[in-house]
Every structure is written in structure tokens, then in C-alpha cells.
Amino acid sequence: MRFDKFSFGSLEIDGSSYEHDVLIDRGEISKRKKKPSKKFRELFGHTPLSVEENIPWKCRQLVIGNGAYGRLPVMQEVRREAERRKIKLLVLPTIEAIELLNQNPKDTNAILHVTAKRLHQILAIDPHSDET
């Protein structure tokens, strides 16, 4: 598996582009289904990663890319469950997670947060605007 590009709101894996969070489970890529965690959003200001989601636990190491700025919250229950299962949990900014995954570590699964383009568009300031 090759991670080619990561930019604000987009991730490229093996030549395919993803504009949503991805889950990698034993080499299979799927969309992160974060709906079960949405009920915790108000506690964190952002939908966190919770144990209520389908986390790819069948590994020895789980890498969580928590966004371009490291803002995806990972609930304490996820950390405790990883410890209980004796899984090494690494929570890193997504670019660092990708660098690690490009080294093809053995028996490693991942959840990668792709920072929303919508947020980027909200934060972007039109250089032609008179508003400052």
C-alpha cells in the first residue's frame, strides 16, 4: 500500500483519491463510519473517535492519523481498549501517520482523519475581499 499525497481534505492511496476519513484493516480500505461517535461531538467540539465505531482491532499496532493539525479527539475508552487488547496505539498528525505507514510496518491497521475541505473553505479568506 502506497500513500502518495496528503493535503487538506484529500488523501491518495495507491493512486485512488479519498476525500473522507479512511479505515485500513489488514490492507482493505473503507470509509470511516463515524455516526456512532457523533453523539459525543458536543463534548469535544468535533466528532471524536470512540469505541462505538468499527475500529480495526485485529493487529498489533493501530495508527490513528488525527488530522492535518492533530485535532481529531481520540476518546480515553479507545486508549484503554487498545491497552486491554495489548495493541500499540499511535496517535499522530495524519502526515506523520502516513510517513509511518509508508514504511509498511507489520501487522498494522490505521484510521486516518482527512481534515474537512469544508472547514478549509470556511477558514479561507478571499484575497479580493475588502473585509479584514
Note the residue count of the chain.
132
Say what percent of the chain tops pLDDT 70.
86
- Spatial separation of the C-alpha atoms in residues 100 and 111, rounded to whole Å: 13
The domain segmentation of the chain, as residue ranges, is: 3-123
Which residues have a Cβ under 8 Å from the Cβ of 20 and sit 6 or more positions away?
Answer: 31, 32, 114
Contact between 91 and 74 under an 8 Å Cβ cutoff? The reply is yes
Over residues 77-93, mean pLDDT: 98
Output the pLDDT for position 95: 92
pTM attached to this predicted model:
0.85
Q: Is CATH 3.40.1230.10 the classification given to domain 3-123?
A: yes
Q: Percentage of residues in the chain with pLDDT exceeding 90?
A: 69
3-19 per-position pLDDT tens digit: 877 776 788 899 899 99
CB 46 within 8 A of CB 71: yes
